[in-house]
Amino acid sequence: MESGIAGASELLRHARDVFCDDTAALAVVDELDRRLQGPLRIAVAGMVKAGKSTLLNAIIGEEIAPTDAGECTRVVTWYQYGHAPKITLYPFRGGPRNLPVTREDGRLVLSLGETPAEDVERLVVEWPSASLRPLTLIDTPGIASLSEDVSGRSTAFLLPEDEPTAADAVIYLMRHMHASDVRFLESFKDTAAGRSGTVNALAVLSRADEIGAGRIDSLISAAVIADRYSRDQNLKPLALGVVPVAGLLAQSSRTMRQGDCDAMMLLAHMDRNQRERMMLSADRFVRGTGPEGLQPSIKASLVQRFGLFGIRLGVALIRGGTTDPTELAHELARRSGLGTLLDSISYLFQTRADALKARAVVVGLESLVRGAPRERAASLEAALERLQTGAHEFRELKLLAALRTGGVGLDEEQEAEAERLVGGRGSTSPLRLGLAPDADPGEVSEAARTCLNRWRLIAENPLTESSALEACRVVTRSCEGMLAATPAVHRAVR
């Protein structure tokens, strides 16, 4: 059985032979090849003011995405790994040109110069960040913007009508779940990639600290709401999960400065009643007296960078004994929800990177075949069909989508286990099997064997609905793959 990534590479070689004299088609094939060989592409999308650029900075760990309402937030911007900082502007007409790399107060400043935003196809920012080695992040303009041009850029990029979307997966930010959010995710699922039977969106309940009005327990309230959203019958078929994140705190904790820590130290040593009165509102905090040595300008900067929620949490951590600046920054980042989001990106997307990229190649070649004379592309069309039928990674993605959109004829408990075993909660063997991430090979082997035997029995049970048999075959094959991947000594029948 051919793997998705190897099969996609072979398809591209086949396509070059088929379209050897078609310059335009070969350019498409070359782009698909670059996509297959490159890092996973994840777009960050959401309504205006959802906190997209702020969250992107938090993921990267540096303030390189503009968070104000400037011209650069109106264009699609790619952030990818580079050995040295570099910014390239790609206009719709004419060749690309480099832009100056400028930083102010630690933040990267992006400027389009004399070029209007509507004339820019995309900006590409190359940055030497380890976070960008395994993936490319794509910041998109706000959807449902008052400016139809701005909103249209995101729609054209994420929801193209006659070609595959440029993103392998999407992180979708929402402050609350509105009908417009569901409509966008439905539209994304209805793109060519979505119609292929792939759920590749992760929802983020952004600005989660605002749900509890900035109280120190705001993230707990946000987690309850996120869990409810994740089980909502409208959202469940469209997203692999919902993660609550306090984006501003996540960004600032990842870029925390010594001065931020010093200011929080001064606040932590204030009289408690005075501090709590001062922190009833942002305005009162900035204008209030004390503590000595903390100027209004510094307090204003703290509010801008951390919000009242982040300040309250930082003070509480310091008073609880977390006084080392590095440890404080780490703890603030963890409690912002960023760690959970990064874990979700890793086990839902990055561990499936090869399958998602191969899926994009298949979708792109399908589009190419549809526009070619049938007699010319018949052999490539047949090869595409064989790969989609035979590549197990694609069968897993298709089953995962089916399980989330209405079931496959199994009972509720079996469907939940099937979703986990085909990688719906993460594609590493321990996560599929419900084990600890660091489970030893013996545990993995034993659990895989147990699951394999159970699913063989389910498939052979005469009471199992015929509509569920294909799901059973896919799950069984996944269990066989996990068992085969463990060292031989642990696979021995005892």
Domain shared by 261 and 167, yes or no: no
Q: Are residues 234 and 111 in the same domain?
A: yes
Domain assignment present for residue 216? The answer is: yes
207 and 127, same domain (yes or no): yes
For residues 262 and 468, what is the distance between their CA atoms, to the nearest angstrom?
60
- Pick from 124, 122, 125, 99: nearest CA to 112: 99
Beta strands in 314-419 (DSSP E): none
Question: Which run of H or E residues covers position 473?
Answer: helix 469-485
| 87 and 195 assigned to the same domain | yes
Q: What global pTM score does this model have?
A: 0.85
Sign of the alpha-carbon dihedral angle for 129, 130, 134, 139: negative
Q: How many domains does the chain have?
A: 3
Same domain, residue pair 277 and 209: no
Residue pointed to by tokens 């035997």 = 453
In a domain, 432, yes or no: yes
Q: Is 376 a member of any domain? A: no
- For residue 377, being part of any structural domain is answered with no
**Considering the domain boundaries, does residue 111 fall inside one?**
yes
For residues 228 and 278, state if they share a domain: no
Q: State the residue range of the domain holding 276.
A: 256-323
Instruction: Based on the fold, state whether residues 437 and 454 are members of the same structural domain.
Output: yes
Within this chain, do residues 59 and 208 fall inside the same structural domain, yes or no? yes
- Whether residues 84 and 138 share a domain: the answer is yes
Q: Quick check: is 365 in a domain?
A: no
- Assign residue 138 a region (left: φ > 0; alpha: ψ between -120 and 50; beta: otherwise): beta
Shared-domain flag, residues 279 and 153:
no
Q: Is residue 384 part of a domain?
A: no
Task: Please check whether residues 420 and 459 belong to one and the same domain.
Answer: yes
Q: Is 175 exposed, middle or buried (0-12, 13-18, 19+ CB in 10 A)?
A: middle
Question: For the chain, give me the number of helices (H) and strands (E)?
Answer: 22, 11
Q: What is the pLDDT along the chain (494 residues), one digit of tens a residue?
A: 455 678 899 999 999 999 999 999 999 999 999 999 999 999 999 988 888 999 999 999 999 988 776 667 788 999 999 999 999 999 999 999 999 998 887 788 888 888 888 899 999 999 999 999 999 999 998 886 555 666 777 788 888 776 778 899 999 999 888 888 888 888 887 664 545 556 788 999 988 888 866 677 888 889 999 999 988 988 888 888 899 999 999 999 999 999 999 999 999 999 899 888 988 888 999 988 878 888 899 999 999 999 999 999 999 999 999 999 999 999 999 999 999 999 999 888 888 888 889 888 998 999 899 888 888 889 999 999 888 877 888 888 888 878 876 678 899 899 999 999 998 888 889 999 999 988 999 999 999 999 999 999 999 999 888 889 999 999 999 999 999 988 754 554 44
| Nearest alpha-carbon partner for 263 in 308, 216, 314, 217 | 314
| Residue at 333 is within a domain | no
Instruction: Find the CATH number of the domain harbouring 74.
Output: 3.40.50.300
Burial code (b: 16+ CB inside 10 Å, e: under 16) for 82-104 equals beeeebebbeeeeeeeebebeee
Which residue's entry shows tokens 């963890």?
A: 334
**280 and 233 in one domain?**
no
